[in-house]
Amino acid sequence: MIEIKNLTKSFGTKKITRGLDLTIQDNDFLAIIGRSGEGKSVLLKQIIGLIKPDSGEIIIDNQNIANLTKVELEAVYKKCGYVFQFAALLDSLNVLENVGITLLENNVSPEEVIPLVTEKLKSVGLGQDVLYKYPSELSGGMKKRVGLARTLMLSPKILIYDEPTTGLDPITVKLIHELIQQTHERLNATTIVISHDIEIFKYAKTVAMLHEGKIIYTGATKDIWECKNPYIYQFIRGLEYGPITNNEIIEKHK
Ligand SMILES: Nc1ncnc2c1ncn2[C@@H]1O[C@H](COP(=O)(O)OP(=O)(O)O)[C@@H](O)[C@H]1O
Ligand SMILES: [Mg+2]
């Protein structure tokens, strides 16, 4: 279980996370939605310990990671796999090196690493033919798969995806969503997907909405289209008028 309590984070005078509470159950598949710039990525980076919160608690497996040292955090990193927004593969490394990086860095021989990498690539639907390709030779969808394969090398208990389908065509979006779901089920992991792609509701179990630095709604995705919460109602339908844009509309007509 991940329990976030009264989390705050500012950059300079800009308040991003403003007393955020969120509980994520083990094995949940949670979609976090919210507008661009609301602080979804900042929240995710606090959960994985890349950004230190100003105050509040992030309790993962009974441990408050908000107060950990760098060394202590590494143990948490090992437990939490994560996939970055733009499948941040290292451009100067080929697929084998990108996926097998942790092992290769620890002097495990390529002969031992290749079968492990091949197996992970297979589980994300890629063949051995990509092993020696560089990121620049891969399509957007393939890069996301390679990013996921790299995360799977760690057999994570928690999988976090930051906008995994941004910039992909609708067919690839569906394939990536299915892959995320299969991975969720196979690893029996807790999955958190940050997305503004409403297709995610077909896959996620739970949805949480971030607005003005707080989680203002959590509920089951299966009820989302009947949900009367005015923020959710406006967001998922992409309506111009509603509580989310109230201030902007007032500004516009001043
Ligand atoms: N390291 C940083 N330093 C300063 N400002 C940041 C930093 N990271 C994010 N921000 C700001 O925090 C806000 C939220 O960003 P982000 O979490 O990326 O939004 P999104 O919900 O689109 O993922 C933005 O205004 C962004 O400019
Ligand atoms: Mg983001």
Residue bearing the CA closest to ligand 1, atom 5:
11
Q: Where are the beta strands (DSSP E) in the chain?
A: 2-11, 14-24, 29-33, 55-60, 63-64, 80-83, 158-162, 190-194, 206-211, 214-220
For residue 210, the ligand 1 atom closest to its alpha carbon is: 21
Give the pLDDT score at 81. 61
- CA distance linking residue 130 with residue 23, whole number of Å: 39
- CA distance linking residue 150 with residue 146, whole number of Å: 6
Question: What pLDDT, in 10s, does the model give residues 6-41?
Answer: 999 999 999 999 999 999 999 999 999 999 999 999
| Domains of the chain with bracketed CATH | 2-252 (3.40.50.300)
| Ligand 1 binding site (Cβ under 6 Å of any ligand atom) | 11, 16, 34, 36-42
- CA distance linking residue 148 with residue 220, whole number of Å: 26
Query: Please, are residues 160 and 81 in contact by the beta-carbon 8 Å criterion?
Result: yes
Of 167, 168, 170, 164, which Cα lies nearest the Cα of 184?
164
Question: What pLDDT, in 10s, does the model give residues 32-76?
Answer: 999 999 999 999 989 888 889 999 999 987 889 888 887 887 777
Query: Please, are residues 95 and 132 in contact by the beta-carbon 8 Å criterion?
Result: yes
Global model pTM greater than 0.95? no
Q: How far is the CA of 208 from the centre of ligand 1 (A)?
A: 19
Mean of pLDDT values over 169-176? 88
